[in-house]
Amino acid sequence: MCIRDSKNRNAMLTQGYDPPDQVVITLLTGPVMHKPQGIDEKSAALKHQGYYCKSCLRSLKKSANPLRGWDAAVFCFYTGYYFCEQCHDRTQLSVIPARVVQDWDFSEHMVSSLSHTFLDIHRCQTPMLCVSAINPALYDKVWLLRMVRELRVELTALNAVGLRCNCLLYTSPSPRDS
């Protein structure tokens, strides 16, 4: 999914955010991102990232105050990258789809402005992931999910029977029957 797609870009622009053209966000199936703990892990992650914001490509600089460290670099739990304070204002929260599919975790986490807009655009449209293909063990952990799957299998079987039996076919009432 590329944000250069005109429909999605227009939706982002109406929300007041104009991301750079070269930014591409992949959809949902990556690993769960965990925030690096401690200044050494954060420094290593920023080194791996090249010390720049993943959205606007601004340089991320270490604070002059050694106690503050990398305060200007803010972690996004959706992408797993660090962003500058202009691209990540620390107030936008969202449910992370990978956490739902892997751990059935619906808690909200801090995400960058770009990720928040992307997740808002794709929220509640249609199911995007096949849980049985990505994490079939989730059915063993979540009773409700297992019950819904069993009901869907039963309904599919009933539909097959209903299509073979003329007595179960639904016919709409004619206007004269009213």
Identify the pLDDT of residue 112: 93
For 49-104, how does the pLDDT look when each residue is reduced to its tens digit (9 = 90+)? 888 888 888 888 766 555 455 667 889 999 889 898 888 888 999 988 888 888 88
| Residues 157, 175: Cα–Cα separation, whole Å | 32
Identify the pLDDT of residue 76: 92
Token pair in block for residue 22: 């070269």
Identify the pLDDT of residue 96: 87
Mean pLDDT of 16-40: 60
| pTM confidence score | 0.65
DSSP 28-71: S-SPPP-PPPHHHHHHHHHHHHTSB-TTT-PBP---SSTTT-ST
